[in-house]
Copies of this chain bind each other. A is one copy, B any other.
Amino acid sequence: MKHFLEMSPMAERILDAAQGLIQQQGYNGFSYDDVAKLVGIKKPSIHHHFPKKEDLVAVLVQRYTHSFRGELLNMEGRHASPMDRLAAYAAVFEQTFNRDRRLCVCGMLGAESGSLPDSAADEVASFFKVNLDWLTQIMGDAQNAGLIKKNCDAESLAQAYLSALEGAMVLGRGMRTVQGPADIARTFLSTVSA
């Protein structure tokens, strides 16, 4: 399987379509035919780009994690304050959610991981690790700057924050109400503030 950085334009379009479907219906909820209809080619053509569904999803999650890393760098560039960075982080989730209440790709796949091929499950785990490492770093910075209370360690705060964001999207879908990750993030951040 090719690396996601040297994908053809059509392969990219396929990944885009598949990603939307995963965010809305989950891994077991979409088919190659669904993707084919969205990008306007036939099912076997999808197989040409990604022989097996397993391949497609593994690459898709790699690409997703990569793009998230980009966002993290971006936030560091735009915001100096740890609190601003944490708020900006939540805004990424909010943006995803506001697009037809899409779930985080790895929130959906994490839930489904019991019926996922190993390759995909590994990539999902990697996504969470990348995000928790970053959040732990920022939470620590915030504590050292006296912006966040020190009665919990940075790693626990990172886990709680990411859990709350992922969970907020699940609740937001499960209920038909508007409440999204941004509101939950505001609540969380105002409770941990020093």
Contact = CB atoms under 8 A, between A and B. Distances in A.
Interface in A110-137: 110-115, 121, 124-125, 127-129
Given A152-B191, A183-B156, A174 B29 contact: no
Contacts of A159: 168, 171, 179, 183-184, 187
A87 to B, nearest CB: 15
Interface stretch (A20-28, A52-60, A66-74): A20-28
A37 to B, nearest CB: 16
A26 B51 CA distance: 25
Interface string A21-54: 0001110110000000000000000000000000
A108 to B, nearest CB: 5
Copy total for this chain: 2
B190 A151 contact: yes
A1 interface: no
A63 interface: no
A138 interface: no
Interface of A: 24-26, 28-29, 103, 106-115, 121, 124-125, 127-129, 149, 151-152, 156-157, 159-160, 162-168, 170-171, 173-176, 179, 183-184, 186-188, 190-192
13 contacts: A107-B170, A108-B111, A110-B170, A110-B174, A111-B112, A113-B173, A128-B171, A129-B175, A151-B190, A156-B187, A159-B184, A163-B170, A170-B170
